[in-house]
Structure 1
Amino acid sequence: MKHFAKLAAGLFVAASFMATAASAQTVLRSSDTHPDGYPTVEAVKYFGELVKERTAGRYAVDVYHSAQLGEEKDTIEQVRSGVIELNRVSMAPFNGTVKESIVPALPYLFRSEEHMHKVMDGAIGDQIKKAFEGAGLVVLAYYDAGSRSFYNKQKPINSVADMKGLKFRVIQSDIFVDMVAALGANATPMPYGEVYSSIETGVIDGAENNFPSYDTAKHFEVAKNFSLDEHTILPEVFVMNKAAFDKLTPEDQEIFKQAAKDSVAKQRELWAAKVSESRAKVEAAGAKITTPDKQGFIDAMKPVYEKHVTDPVLKKMVEDVQAVQ
């Protein structure tokens, strides 16, 4: 009997320990406006799997895709205030909060996605990461968002003259508003989720984005003319609330940073495949893709740079970006 009592007591202690360990798991919430299966959503899921594995289940990540927690403007405030811990969001909405984020958002700054990777993976990317800490955020990773181009329901765009008078939805960013104005068009900042109906009803003529967003948001159904001007090659940021990050042990901080770094390679691979798939899909559905002469668009950006790149730090950063080969 004593043997069975000891065994039962041992099982009770083990069960209690397991229950305590299970209850000690910290579940972190992460937001994304894109649908399930989108490359950024899958990359954050992968990050969560690595974190869970490498912390022996002490941390887990729940990914809320499809703007379940709100549009980007809302979730940025949520992650800064600590309501949620993680967020995948475009860098442009931070332009008014983190001045260094202005540089990657500048139109026609990056020559290619490869150029952007070299810049963001190096010292300039580290400089921008450091600046985000002042906004209460830790940048864990930069994700690809490809190149953004204009699309509309009215006509093909082959030159700056074709932009005149058209109304485009843009990200809630002064740079994007000024970029569109410099091209002779009208900018309307609005949440991503409102774009389809706004084009359909004529509130706007079109928007600007990459092929996967043009596809997955079904904007190609209401705006058939896609102009491959590639005005921005703007990276996304995967951020964490700084207070939450600072609570991690140094060992766990390294686990989080390495898991995020590993997720970047995964996201880039998924992104490249998605771009090819989405372009083929929209073309098959009747989207008309044109490639305008970019020089006229680039020349029109002089007042945008003069307005937004006045700080000596930003001027130096732009020069450094352009010098990266």
Structure 2
Amino acid sequence: MKKVLFVGSLLAMGILMGCSGDKGKAEGKQETVKTQVLKVAFNQSENHPQYKALEEFGKKLEEQTKGAYKLEISPNELLGDQRATAELVQNGVIQMSVVGNPVVESFNSDFAVIGLPYLYDSLEHQKKVFLSDVLDPLFESVKSSGFEVIGAFTAGARCLYTDKPMVKPEDLKGYKFRVMQSDTMKKMVDYMGGIGTPMGQGEVYTAVQQGVIEGGENNEVTYVDLKHYEIAPYFSYTNHLMVPDLIIINEKLYNGMTPENRKIFDDLMKQTIENEFEVWNENVEVAKKVATDNGAKFIEVDIKPFQERVKPLQEEVANRSEMTKKIYSDVRALAQ
């Protein structure tokens, strides 16, 4: 009888110990959630609307994935210029970057179609495009390069700025304007009447001071953020370009997310893209006031002569492939 009681006691202790061990493992698992830090490269300052949008995205992502992912944004080209950071994302050295459309264009020339001059009629038209699915086939076309485009931010309308108003194509003659490092962008300014000069954005201020170029082309926010009003006080509303800034992510990391976290990530990214348009508009008004207070002049322009000038470029790029034909057609259809 004592033996039976003794064996029963041992069994009971074993069951209790087993339960305790399992509970401990479960508790330990909950307490040690592994956080994946997503390093994000960004070439503008912390004051930029896109930085603010990403910052908010990061907070919500960490919260909704219960700490599985955390964003670490490096502004001001701390991780290198956009082309260099795209390669870092490819290789998995960093996880994400925001890059101008021409950077991805170097991986697939079809991307030139969504950076064409006068493709979008307004920011509302561009927002409608970015929140639709018409660009998905294009975005997915670079998967084999080691990264995926997961969305696009607006960067407003790009305009010319230099030491005098630019109100007609003839005003651009002999003037060298910095453009992004893209053959399409260079051709654009050449067609408009000036001389497109590819160079890094960080070089513009000194290049204008030294007379290497006469001006640049960008939006009001960047114009003010980089204090280009100090060296090019006339900002002419040519509104020639609404080039997307693309959000790219390492393909292996993106496909390695759990279905639940992937859905959270994608849903939040779509919200972030929509919200960034609102933040952008607010920041434009603030930027214009800063520039005006510092002596800058904002000049209204009749854009029709410039639109006519760039038509050959639009036709050349839009008819480059079946992909570009469809994308161009779908984007224009959303303007209705």
Fold conserved between structures, TM > 0.5: yes
Determine which of 263, 268, 283 is the counterpart of 1:259: 268
Tell me the amino acid that sits aligned with residue 97 of structure 2.
N
Deviation for aligned residue 1:20 = 6.7
Structure-to-structure mapping, 1:293-312, within 5 angstroms: 293-309=302-318, 310-312=320-322
Q: Distance in 2 between matches of 1:65 and 1:218?
A: 17
Q: 1:136-155 alignment to 2 at 5 Å?
A: 136-153=146-163, 155=164
- Whether the 8 Å CA contact 1:100–1:131 is kept in 2: the answer is no
User: Which deviates further from its counterpart, 129-138 or 30-39?
Assistant: 129-138
Q: How many residues align?
A: 314
CA deviation profile, 1:157-205 (whole Å, cap 9, x unmatched): 1100001110111011111000111123112111111111111111111
**In structure 2, what is the Cα distance between the partners aligned to 1:68 and 1:150?**
27
Is 2:32 aligned against 1:21? yes
Q: Is the 8 A contact 2:120 2:126 kept in 1?
A: yes
Return the offset for 1:312.
3.0
- Matched-pair contact (CA < 8 Å) for 2:190–2:196: yes
Deviation at 1:142, TM superposition (A): 1.7
The whole-number CA distance in structure 2 between the counterparts of 1:159 and 1:195 is 23
Higher Cα Rg: structure 1 or 2? Answer: 2
Aligned match of 1:3: none
Alignment match, 1:166? 175
1:118 aligns with 2:139: no
1:314 aligns with 2:302: no
Is 1:94 the equivalent of 2:96? Answer: no
Q: Please state how far the C-alpha of 1:323 moved relative to its aligned partner.
A: 2.0
Equivalent-residue separation in structure 1 for 2:222 and 2:114 (angstroms): 19
Match of 1:269 among 271, 278, 282: 278
Letter aligned with residue 91 of structure 2:
S
1:296 is displaced (CA, Å) by 0.9
Distance 2:174 2:312 in 1: 19
Q: CA deviation at 1:318?
A: 1.5
In structure 2, give the amino acid aligned to 1:78: L
Among 236, 245, 250, the alignment partner of 2:245 is 236
SS of structure 1 residue aligned to 2:60: helix
- Could you give the per-residue CA deviations for residues 106-165 of structure 1, whole angstroms, max 9, x where no partner exists? 001111111111122213222332223243322232212110011112x21110000111
Q: Identity, % of aligned pairs?
A: 32
Which range moves more in the overlay, 184-193 or 125-134?
125-134
What letter is aligned with 1:89?
V
Letter matched to residue 140 of structure 1 = I
Counterparts of 2:314 and 2:271, CA distance in 1:
34
3-state SS of the aligned residue for 1:84?
A: coil
CA distance in 1, matches of 2:74, 2:298: 33
CA spacing shift, 1:265–1:308, aligned 2, 3 Å: closer
Aligned-partner residue type, residue 326 of structure 2? K
**Counterpart Cα distance in 1 of 2:323 and 2:314:** 14
Deviation, 1:104, is 1.5
Q: Give the match's secondary structure for 1:123.
A: coil
Q: 1:175 and 2:165 equivalent? A: no
CA distance in 2, matches of 1:114, 1:92: 22
Which residue matches 2:9? none
In structure 1, distance between residues paired with 2:266 and 2:179:
31
The question of whether the paired residues in 1 share the 8 Å contact of 2:110 and 2:321 is answered with no
Q: Tell me the equivalent position of 1:211.
A: 220
Question: What is the one-letter code of the residue matched to 1:113?
Answer: L
1:35 maps to 2:35: no
Contact 2:158 2:242 in 1 (8 A): yes
Q: Structure 2 CA distance, aligned partners of 1:122 and 1:194? A: 36
Matched, 1:133 2:143: yes
SS at match of 2:93: coil
* 2-structure distance, mates of 1:139, 1:49: 21
The amino acid of 1:308's aligned partner reads: V
Native 8 Å contact 1:71 1:192 kept in 2: no
Q: TM-score, normalised by structure 2?
A: 0.87
* Amino acid across the alignment from 1:60: K
Matching residue's letter, 2:308: D
Q: Which runs of 5+ in 1 are unaligned?
A: 1-5
Between the aligned partners of 1:175 and 1:257, the Cα distance in structure 2 is 30
Deviations 1:47-77 (A, max 9, x none): 1111111111121110001111011111111
Contact 2:44 2:77 in 1 (8 A): yes
Q: Distance in 2 between matches of 1:237 and 1:69?
A: 17
Mapped contact 2:131–2:270 kept (Cα < 8 A): no
